[in-house]
Amino acid sequence: MTETVEEKLSIRTEKVEKSRLPEVDFENLPFGRVFSDHMFVADYKDNGWHDLRVVPYANISFSPAMSTLHYAQSIFEGMKAYKRADGGVYLFRPDENFNRMNISANRMCMPEIREEVFMDGLKELIKLDQGWVPGQEGSTLYIRPFMFAADDFIGVRPSDTYKFMIFTCPVASYYAEPVRVRIETDYTRAAKGGVGYAKTAGNYAASLYAARNAQKDGYHQVIWTDGAEHKYIEESGTMNLFFKIDGTLVTAALGDSVLNGITRKSIIQLAKDFGQPVEERRISVEEIDKALKEGRVEEAFGAGTAAVVSSIKTVGHQGTDYDLPPMVEGTFAYKVKETLHNIRMGKVEDKHQWMVKV
Ligand code: COI
C-alpha cells in the first residue's frame, strides 16, 4: 500500500513541563522499563501521514475494537543512540532500520513510512531527549519505532488507519551474562512463506511458549530450527546466531524465516574486513551436533541491537549441555564486539560510514 499524498510535513513539539531525568538511576538500568520524557507520533489516514508530533511520553487510549489487538497488524524496529566522549550523539545505520521497517510494512499490508517521517521524527525526538542518552560504559539509548493498525473494526482486512510512534529507553545489556540456549526441534517460530523475516509482533508471540519451556529448564533462549523438518539452524528470536567452527565463522543464510539483522550484517562485513573466513549458508543441526560433540565449536555468539554481541556459554541439544569457550581477548567475538563499540564511540575510523550524527 503506497501513499499518494505527498504534502510537506512539519513536526510540532510539545515539551514536558518537568523532566523525569533526575529520577533515573543510570548506574542500574534495567532493559526496557525506563522511558524517556518524549515520544514521536504520526497518524496515517486518507492515504497519507499526518500530524507529526513530539509530545510528552504518555499512555495512549484506543477502542477495544482496535484491529491491532485482534489481528496483530503491528511492526517494530530496534535501534540505538550512542553518546561519545565529546557529548555528540550518534545513531548506528538508521537507514537500515528504515528500509527494514518498510519491508515489514509491505509484508503486513501496512503503508510504507516516508523517509522524512521516520528520520526527521527520530532525530527531532533524540535531539530533544539527548540528556537521556547514557554516557556510562555499556549503556545506550534503545530506540523503539513501531507502527500498528488503528481502525476500530473487527472484520479481517488491512486497516485503513495506522499510528507510527517512536519512544526511547536508556538501557544496559539485554543479557546480563553469557547465554545458555537450547536447540528447539518441536516448536516452530516461522515457516516457509510466512512472516519470519518481518519484524512483526506475532513472531515474538509465537516464540514465547518454547522460550518459556526452555527457561524452566535453565536456558535463556532457544535456537530455532526450520519449521518444515527442524533440521536447520535459523535464529534465536532475540538475536541472529554465529558459530566459529574449524576457523570459519558461519551464520544461517537469510530467507523467509530469518530476520535480516543489522548487527548480523555489520558483523559479516567486519569479518570480511578482518580477513576472517565467513559463510552465510544452511547450517544443519547434525553439523552443529557433530561439531559440539567433537569440540570443534570454537565460538558461538548471538548478535542483535538489544543483545549486541552476546557470548553463548552453553548449547543444549537432546538432553546434553555442551559448554563453549568464553568470549575473551583473542576471540573473534571479542574483537568484533570491541570494534563495533569503537566505531560507535568514534574511537576508530568508521570506514563504511555507518554512524549518523543527530
Ligand atoms: C532488538 O534487538 O532490537 C530487538 O528487537 C530484539 C528484542 C527482542 C529486544
pLDDT value, residue 285:
98
Report the candidate in 298, 296, 303, 309 with the shortest Cα–Cα distance to residue 280: 303
pLDDT value, residue 333:
97
Distance 77 CA to ligand 1 centre (A): 8
What are 242-275's pLDDT values in tens digits?
A: 999 999 999 999 999 999 999 999 999 999 999 9
Q: How long, in residues, is the chain? A: 358
What are 190-206's pLDDT values in tens digits?
A: 999 999 999 999 999 99
What are 163-197's pLDDT values in tens digits?
A: 999 999 999 989 889 999 999 999 999 999 999 99
Residue 7 has pLDDT above 80, yes or no: no
Pick the atom of ligand 1 nearest to 304's CA.
2
Distance 299 CA to ligand 1 centre (A): 22
Distance 70 CA to ligand 1 centre (A): 23
H or E element at residue 202: helix 201-216
Report the candidate in 342, 279, 343, 266 with the shortest Cα–Cα distance to residue 305: 266
pLDDT value, residue 6:
58
Pick the atom of ligand 1 nearest to 76's CA.
5
With a Cβ cut-off of 6 Å, ligand 1 is lined by 78, 238, 304-307
**Residues 271, 34: Cα–Cα separation, whole Å:** 34
Distance 305 CA to ligand 1 centre (A): 6
What are 298-354's pLDDT values in tens digits?
A: 999 999 999 999 999 999 999 999 999 999 999 999 999 999 999 999 999 999 999
Domains of the chain by start residue, with CATH: 12-171 (3.30.470.10), 179-345 (3.20.10.10)
Does this model's pTM top 0.80? My answer is: yes
Residue 3 has pLDDT above 70, yes or no: no
Beta bridge mates, 163: 43, 148
H or E element at residue 70: helix 67-71
| Closest residue to atom 3 of ligand 1, CA basis | 78
- Grid cell, residue 66, equals 482496535
What are 221-234's pLDDT values in tens digits?
A: 999 999 999 999 99
**Residues 171, 144: Cα–Cα separation, whole Å:** 12
Best residue for ligand 1 mutational test, from 31, 143, 174, 238 (most atoms within 8 Å of Cβ): 238
pLDDT value, residue 137:
86
